C-alpha cells in the first residue's frame, strides 16, 4: 500500500498545530485555505521534510511558505509562474527560493492558491500586503499579511 506523503505530512502539521494551540477547530475552505471555526484569529502554515512554520494573526489574512534555501530554478520549468520583474531579480542574484516563497505566501494569503495567471503580478510590487522573507537553518520563509501588527510566526 502506497502512502501519500503529502497528505500524511499535512495531517501531521495540522495535528501539531492543533496540539500546540490547544484548538481542534481548524478547517479548510474549498480552495484549501485553513481557518479557525471558533476562534477570532487567522492562520496559515507551510512545511517541508524537516520544518513546519505557521503564522497567526489577530487582524487579517496571512499566508506563509517555506522552501529549501537554494531552490533550483529552471526557466523552462518554472518561468511560466514568474513576472518579468521576478525573472530579472533572479538574473541579478536573488534566490529563486525567495521569489517563490514570496509569491506563494501572497497566493495563500489571498486564498487563490497556485493558478495559471501567476505571472501577471510581481511579489515585489504588492500594495495590499506586507511580505517579509527570512533565511534560517537552510530554509527560506516568506510571510504575507494584511497588517503589520498582531502577527505571530512559529517555526517547529
DSSP letters for 61-114: -EEEEEEETT----HHHHGGGS-HHHHHHHHTT--HHHHHHHHHHHHHHHT--S
Domain that holds residue 148: 5-155
Tens digits of residue pLDDT in 147-156? 988 888 889 8
Please report the pLDDT score of residue 106 as a whole number.
Answer: 95
Percentages (nearest 5) of helix, strand, coil residues in the chain = 30, 30, 40
Report helix, strand or coil for 23: coil
pLDDT digit string (tens) for 68-126?
999 999 988 888 999 999 999 999 999 999 999 999 999 999 988 777 889 999 999 97
Structural domains of the chain, count: 1
CA distance 33 to 19: 19
Cα 106 to Cα 95: distance, rounded to the nearest angstrom: 17
pLDDT of residue 3: 36
- The CATH number of residue 83's host domain is 3.90.470
Amino acid at each position: 500500500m502506497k502512502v501519500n506523503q503529502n497528505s500524511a505530512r499535512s495531517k501531521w502539521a495540522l495535528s501539531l498545530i492543533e496540539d500546540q494551540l490547544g484548538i481542534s477547530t481548524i478547517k479548510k475552505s474549498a480552495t484549501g485555505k485553513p481557518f479557525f471555526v471558533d476562534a477570532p484569529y487567522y492562520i496559515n502554515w507551510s512545511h517541508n521534510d524537516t520544518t513546519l512554520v505557521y503564522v497567526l494573526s489577530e487582524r487579517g489574512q496571512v499566508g506563509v511558505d517555506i522552501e529549501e534555501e537554494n531552490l533550483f530554478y529552471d526557466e523552462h520549468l518554472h518561468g511560466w509562474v514568474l513576472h518579468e520583474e521576478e525573472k530579472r531579480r533572479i538574473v541579478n542574484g536573488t534566490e529563486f527560493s525567495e521569489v517563490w516563497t514570496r509569491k506563494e505566501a501572497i497566493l495563500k494569503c489571498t486564498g487563490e492558491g497556485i493558478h495559471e495567471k501567476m505571472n501577471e503580478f510581481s511579489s515585489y510590487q504588492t500594495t495590499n500586503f506586507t511580505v517579509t522573507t527570512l533565511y534560517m537553518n537552510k530554509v527560506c520563509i516568506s510571510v504575507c499579511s494584511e497588517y503589520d501588527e498582531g502577527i505571530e510566526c512559529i517555526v517547529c
